[in-house]
Structure 1
């Protein structure tokens, strides 16, 4: 696993056809969590957002571009109580939501998942509200 830190633009460069979607997703993450810590890891093909640079403990979400979609993944997604059943995956903790269209980002459930993930990590890290 490559832990080299890169830039957001490098992540877009991996699948440039998703640039608009990735920028909109980033804007949504920043809107919901001003001051978030963003870390781009080109070796992991991901950009993560959270309370600090450690992806598995301080980050709560990441975007991973693929050829036909972008996964919005939640490191502790199994703990989020996904009432809308948008999240996919069966692992112990991580869950993801495949994004194929910009319009998916206006779904209130997507916003709610990002907020729930941020709150879950803040509480797990025992950070002040």
Structure 2
């Protein structure tokens, strides 16, 4: 979880982090609103952490890492901290960040 938080801060130093105790998750985005301003979340479990994307169905996923069948949300499971250094994880966070930035009219 700590490594994911560090990566989120590295990818977007301006991010807004919101702990969501009712959801047992923490989300990152351009503001505190979960479904409109946030782009990613981390949800810890006993043996892994899910890194989820609120609009993951629209993200490029050339390595097929994303799981889920919902209309918008997708996630990937992180079993070990060293998986976070995989370029695909970073690429997904960057793509999610950029998608939300454009959708909110924050892009240059």
C-alpha root-mean-square deviation of aligned residues, in Å? 0.7
Alignment pair present for 1:76 and 2:55 = yes
Structure 1 residue 128 displacement after superposition: 3.1
Alignment pair present for 1:89 and 2:58 = no
Unaligned runs of 5+ in 2: none
Q: How far apart, in 1, do the equivalents of 2:98 and 2:14 lie?
A: 14
Q: How far apart, in 2, do the equivalents of 1:122 and 1:74 lie?
A: 14
Q: Normalized against structure 2, the TM-score is what?
A: 0.97
Unaligned runs of 5+ in 1: 1-21
Q: Residue 98 of structure 1 aligns to a residue in which SS?
A: strand
User: How many aligned residue pairs are there?
Assistant: 108
Q: Could you say which residue in structure 2 is the equivalent of 1:108?
A: 87
* Greater share of residues in helix: 1
Q: Could you say which residue in structure 1 is the equivalent of 2:106?
A: 127
- Moved >4 Å (runs of 4+): none
Higher-Rg structure is 1
